[in-house]
Structure 1
Amino acid sequence: MKKNTGKKKIIMVCSDGGHLAQMLELKELFDRYDYLLVTEKTAATENLVNSYNMAYVQPRPEGKNRKLSFFISLVKNSWMALKILIQHRPKAVITTGSHTAVPFCLLAKPFGAKVVWILSFARINSKAASANLIYPIADKFIVQWPQMLKHYKKAVYIGSIY
């Protein structure tokens, strides 16, 4: 992790794939804050450590016994999230989702961190399970399509990240 720069600390956490692509659209924030980018460690994300201040968590489970594997992964990622939150002490956790972000958001609140959830650009007409878990505790909940305001009443629509 980087040394203290005097800038406000934030953690930007997301699942890999499209959620990560959306997060990387917010690169301008990286210079304004002492950030830590957290995503799943996969073959596609391993090289990001060369360009960004990174931490990795367990990837989504695949194959047989997905439900059991998902639970085990959730427990491991919750433990990793707690360790990362203690080390980084962010003022805010910003996420584009999905399941990878849930432990970070839930555990950040007792540390006094603000939670900002940016609902995926892919969510045009339907709710998301992970977003539904965090919606009640989010300090700011942002949707990228105006029609999503009917599903998330306290959300803010500010356009898309793209």
Structure 2
Amino acid sequence: MKVCLVGSSGGHLTHLYMLKPFWESQERFWVTFDKEDARSLLKDEKMIPCYYPTNRSIRALIKNTILAWKTLRKEKPDLIISSGAAVAVPFFWLGKLFGAKTIYVEVFDRIDKPTVTGKMVYPVADEFIVQWEEMKKVYPKAKNLGSIF
């Protein structure tokens, strides 16, 4: 199975990295910001840089949508996993067109309110994971697997 792990650098990347027991035995690639923390953490990993800042940036969304199209066509992942933020949106929506399964992990610090990214990918996520039982009121189809910390 080929896995695409996509997310912003910083806390979102840390969330994804903590899933290492799952992804370490899989063929994989990462899509994240080309920043020092990401380069350091992923120094031995295949990393595709995405555009930022993404916070409510239409320009970055357009650029990352083009990047997602090209990357997904070339890499053909079976599974796309993300914990946010905005860069996940085009990868999830286009990933469905390419036949990939998608798993979204809502971030730990959201206890009872959705993130913007979570709301945008919820309709196309094959699995939507929350870390607090209260979040199942926000995302009824979600699975609470508890904290990944």
Q: TM-score, normalising length from structure 1?
A: 0.86
2:124 matched residue in structure 1: 137
Structure 2 residue matching 1:36: 3-state secondary structure: strand
Residue in structure 2 matched with residue 3 of structure 1 by the alignment:
none
Q: Write the distance in 1 (CA, Å) between the matches of 2:121 and 2:77.
A: 18
Deviation of 1:87 (Å): 1.2
Q: What is the CA deviation profile of residues 99-153 of structure 1, one whole-angstrom value per residue up to 9, with x for unaligned ones? A: 0111100100011111111001111121111111111111000001111011100
Aligned residues: 149
**Aligned with residue 109 of structure 1, among 86, 96, 101:** 96
Q: Does 1:43 align with 2:30?
A: no
Q: Give the 3-state SS of the residue equivalent to 1:32 in structure 2.
A: coil
Of 3, 10, 14 in structure 2, the residue corresponding to residue 21 of structure 1 is 14
Identity of aligned residues (%): 35
Instruction: Tell me by how many angstroms 1:92 deviates.
Output: 1.0
Alignment counterpart, residue 23 of structure 2, candidates 30, 34, 49: 30
Decide whether the 8 Å contact of 1:14 with 1:39 is kept in 2: yes
Structure 1 equivalent of residue 50 of structure 2: 57
Matched, 1:10 2:3: yes
Contact 1:85 1:108 in 2 (8 A): yes
CA RMSD of aligned residues (A): 1.5
Structure 1 residue runs without a partner (length 5+):
1-7
Deviation at 1:55, TM superposition (A): 1.1
Q: Which residue of 2 aligns with 1:5?
A: none
Picking from 86, 105, 128, the partner of 1:99 is 86
SS state at 1:45 partner: helix
Q: Secondary structure at the match of 2:36?
A: coil
Give the TM-score normalised by the residue count of structure 2. Answer: 0.93
Deviation at 1:49, TM superposition (A): 4.5
Structure 2 residue runs without a partner (length 5+): none
Distance, in Å, in 2 between the alignment partners of 1:113 and 1:26 is: 19
Runs ≥4 residues deviating over 3 A: none
What secondary structure, in the 3-state scheme, does the structure 2 residue paired with 1:115 have?
strand
Match runs of 1:56-95 below 5 Å:
56-60=49-53, 70-95=57-82
